[in-house]
Structure 1
Amino acid sequence: MAQIAIKKTLDRIPGGMMIVPLLLGAFFATFLPETPKFFGSFTGALFTGALPILAVFYVCMGASITLEATPYILKKGGALFGTKIVVALIFGVILGHFLGEQPVGSGMFLGLSTLAVVAALNDTNGGLYMALMGQYGKPADVGAYTIMSLESGPFLTMLTLGVAGLSAFPWPTLVGAILPLAVGMLIGNLDRNMRDFLSKAVPVMIPFFAFALGAGLDLHKVWQAGLMGVAMGVAVVVLTGIPLFFADRLVGGNGVAGVAAASTAGNAATVPVIIAASNPVYAEAAKSATVIVASCVVITAILVPLLTAWVYKRVGADKASGAE
């Protein structure tokens, strides 16, 4: 039987395994909104089952995080992780003061919200970072993502929104947001075979929860949020890339690893809907935030490799990325 290169085609698209299913789900939500009710059963559940799939996703993601980190990895990963969180907190506080929990309702900033900005800034595209460090860094730089992967999930975004003075989340909700990741980490570190078993499921689940997320979006609003998403994607690279560059240099690097971390993870697009499910006051903001953050994933996936290669040439390909 003739083969169609579906996966290879999706892999060629920045964030394709996330973006394409998300847009497919949005197509059904916009033009065939009765599809889930018409089919019901498992098919209907696939349109509405983002949260259960994400719960399993974060258990498997947690299992892939190892606690066996060298001092260099702790120093490098900690510096980049801390910088991303501080930047997100600063902008969360500033925007929270002016926007509160609701999105901008009109004008060129239509759809922009504190939730969208914090979610886009908080989480680094780990696959992109590790690929770039594999080319421009060294194994220890790749390993730094062990620490940075703690950004995954909605916990830090919930924490940032609370610290920013916006509607907070009760402690059971905060614990519930990080519990699947923590359980996965515990299982993966207690048994390496379970780590190997569970971590393989991480990429498999991405298109499924992406489709379910897209099934809650209206394509009539996507183009507006998409334009804002392009601007946000550029802003993420600039606003996080500069401080990450200097943070990397402060811990002995040459700045390349910092620039390579100035991206938005595909997982971040799932955060707004989880936040809204935990606190309904963010329900309106989550609609546009999901599309804006998804756009950031694509834009940063295009810009960060180009910028990383440029910085690598500027600092000198012969310079080490940092002392062990």
Structure 2
Amino acid sequence: MQIPIKRTLDRIPGGMMLVPLLLGAVINTFFPTTPKFFGSFTGALFTGALPILAVFYVCMGASINVQATPYILKKGGSLFAVKIIMGILLGLVFGHFLGEAPIAAGMFAGLSTLAIVAAMNDTNGGLYMALMGQYGKPEDVGAYSVMSVESGPFLTMVTLGVAGLSAFPWPTLVGSILPLALGMLIGHLDREMRAFLSKAVPVMLPFFAFALGAGLDLNKVWQAGLLGLGMGVAVVVVTGIPLYLVDRLTGGNGVAGVAAASTAGNAATVPMIVAAANPVYLEAAKSATIVIAACVVVTSILVPILTAWLAGRQRPQPRAAGTIAGTDVPERV
């Protein structure tokens, strides 16, 4: 007996990414000791997001044509610029009204400028690359090598005007690019290796998604309540619309822009790091961490669905039998 698992997943928008991600999140939320209980290879499935992503980088890099480097710089640079500009604009607006402290009471209690800027600034790189590996071009995946500059507290601190950051963590940035560059080099030197490695890209998607989901706690959404849910939706809408438009203006079809409209998991660590650099944000950091964690979960669910939906609309529709392509004129027999 055959069960059409793949066919079913393919019918769900972003199913190959979304279903394993939700499965991992459910297990982590209700059975958090599972990886430790089983250990060994089973435990590695829950905790291996980074190693899988590293291999994903190499294989995806091998499928990229080196001649497409200008496109990567243009695409990554434009998406990066949009995220940063939106973070700065929102920081200026909400900083003017809220200052450094969070809202103390009411429906928006816990909302702060720090939470808004940190949630908007940092794209979930693993999610973006996995979605582009399925719905985009290899060059679109490579664009994250530029966007990875968003990672960590650096740009959030700059946006908030926090002083005291001694140095930019360039080794981390270089380390995030090296696997992709290695793959590009291998693929450029040997076409057979390019064909061999590129086949592994779609295979790794569900495994990476499961490990990513295993790091999410659905209780965070419940703790943050409607505020966290609303913030997650706001990240997708507020950053997704300009990202979509810029992607279209730079020669894309908008899919890469929507795929970048998420909040990275490491963004939840940013508020406490910022507060350590400037204690004036200490009170805001407590609630901001919970709100941002909710944004990670919400955007990890919404972005794959929207990306898959938009990618489906971009596919050319098959022409009706007996007509000339692009017209309604019947073909001559």
TM-score computed with the length of structure 1 as normaliser? 0.68
Alignment partner, residue 213 of structure 1: 212
Q: How does 1:164-313 map to 2 (within 5 A)?
A: 165=158, 169-222=168-221, 224=225, 225-248=228-251, 257-264=252-259, 271-273=264-266, 281=273, 284=289, 287-301=293-307, 304-305=310-311
| Secondary structure of residue in 2 paired with 1:91 | helix
In structure 1, which of residues 155, 162, 176 is the aligned counterpart of residue 148 of structure 2? 155
- The one-letter code sitting in structure 1 at the alignment partner of 2:120 is V
Give RMSD over aligned pairs.
4.2
Cα distance, 1:66 vs structure 2:
0.8
Q: Which residue of 1 aligns with 2:66?
A: 67
Q: Find the counterpart in structure 1 of residue 87 from structure 2.
A: 92
Deviation at 1:46, TM superposition (A): 1.5
Gaps of 5+ in 1: 131-144, 249-256, 310-316, 319-324
**Partner amino acid for 2:26?**
F
Residues 107, 36 of structure 1: alpha-carbon distance in 2 compared, 3 angstrom cutoff: same
Query: How far off is 1:279 after superposition?
Result: 11
CA distance in 2, matches of 1:49, 1:121: 16
Name the structure 2 match of 1:140.
Answer: none
**C-alpha distance in structure 2 between counterparts of 1:197 and 1:241, whole Å:** 32
Q: CA deviation at 1:264?
A: 0.6
Deviates more, 1:119-128 or 1:45-54: 119-128
C-alpha distance in 2 between matches for 1:48 and 1:159: 20
Cα drift, residue 162 of structure 1: 3.5
Deviation at 1:115, TM superposition (A): 4.5
Structure 2: gaps of 5 or more residues: 160-164, 275-284, 316-325, 328-333
Deviations 1:258-296 (CA, angstroms, capped at 9, x unpaired): 445432169x77x534x7799983894773353243134
Q: How much does 1:301 deviate? A: 1.9
Aligned length: 281
| C-alpha contact 2:61 2:187 (8 A) present in aligned 1 | yes
Deviation at 1:159, TM superposition (A): 8.6
Letter in 2 for 1:263: V
Instruction: Indicate how the Cα distance of structure 1 residues 38 and 5 shifts in structure 2: closer, same or farther if over 3 A, else same.
Output: same
- TM-superposed CA distance for 1:58, in Å, is 1.0
**2:118 is the alignment partner of 1:126:** no
**What CA distance in whole angstroms lies between the structure 1 residues aligned with 2:103 and 2:200?**
37
Residue 321 of structure 1: aligned partner: none
Residue identity (%): 46
Q: Which has the larger radius of gyration?
A: 2
How far has the Cα of 1:213 moved from its partner? 1.7
C-alpha distance in 2 between matches for 1:287 and 1:215 = 14
TM-score (norm 2): 0.67
Alpha-carbon spacing, 1:277–1:58, altered in 2? closer, same or farther (3 Å): farther
Contact 2:62 2:183 in 1 (8 A): yes
